[in-house]
Amino acid sequence: SQQGEEDPQALSIQEGENATMNCSYKTSINNLQWYRQNSGRGLVHLILIRSNEREKHSGRLRVTLDTSKKSSSLLITASRAADTASYFCATLTGGGNKLTFGTGTQLKVEL
Amino acid sequence: DTEVTQTPKHLVMGMTNKKSLKCEQHMGHRAMYWYKQKAKKPPELMFVYSYEKLSINESVPSRFSPECPNSSLLNLHLHALQPEDSALYLCASSQTGPSGANVLTFGAGSRLTVL
């Protein structure tokens, strides 16, 4: 079952612009993670934010978490053509190892 | 070694065949996962093994049979599949411990086509 809904479903921007993706989820979480997937390949972990954190940075990535609204956003600054990929939020729930992925945002960065 | 290796990369099988997907990691991770991903959809969790024991089965049909022979290997045995089972099958692993982590390292996937 799906925990997260992401919007937009697809996003097309010019190189150098910022890209923002949003994720909403339904139940209480332990942490929220963002992953990237290049076409038809495995996913790569980008960043993790814990439920007691509000904002986190890693290089050109900035993630925010609002547990009262059950939402998160991923900002990629100064985008590059190589950032073209699908981006998924994923939530860890319960005390086990269940990581559930959101619907994903397809990002296209054009030269 | 920071990789998860999946074989084969591509597999075509008939509905009466028996085949297996294999996954290997040498990062000392004690949790291993199978996900199924259809085109333009998110990965869907199928199974989780923790310390070589099956801890999560997301009501997957019995034509999919997971096996974890040791802490480095994870197999997915396939039998009597249907065309709708065609998908990208992703293996992942993670450290275990406090539930605040569980960052997954994914393999490149095995693309399965059932004829």
Mean pLDDT, chain A, integer:
92
| Contact B66/A at CB under 8 A | no
| Contact B112/A at CB under 8 A | no
List B residues 89-108 in contact with A (Cβ-Cβ < 8 A). 90, 92, 94, 96, 99-108
pLDDT, tens digit, 9 for 90 and up, residues B19-39: 999 999 999 999 999 999 999
At A97 the pLDDT is 75
Asked if pLDDT for residue A19 goes beyond 70, the answer is yes
DSSP string, chain A: ---EEEE-SEEEEETTS-EEEEEEESS--SEEEEEEE-TTS-EEEEEEEETT-SEEEETTEEEEEETTTTEEEEEE-S--GGG-EEEEEEEEETTTTEEEE---EEEEEE-
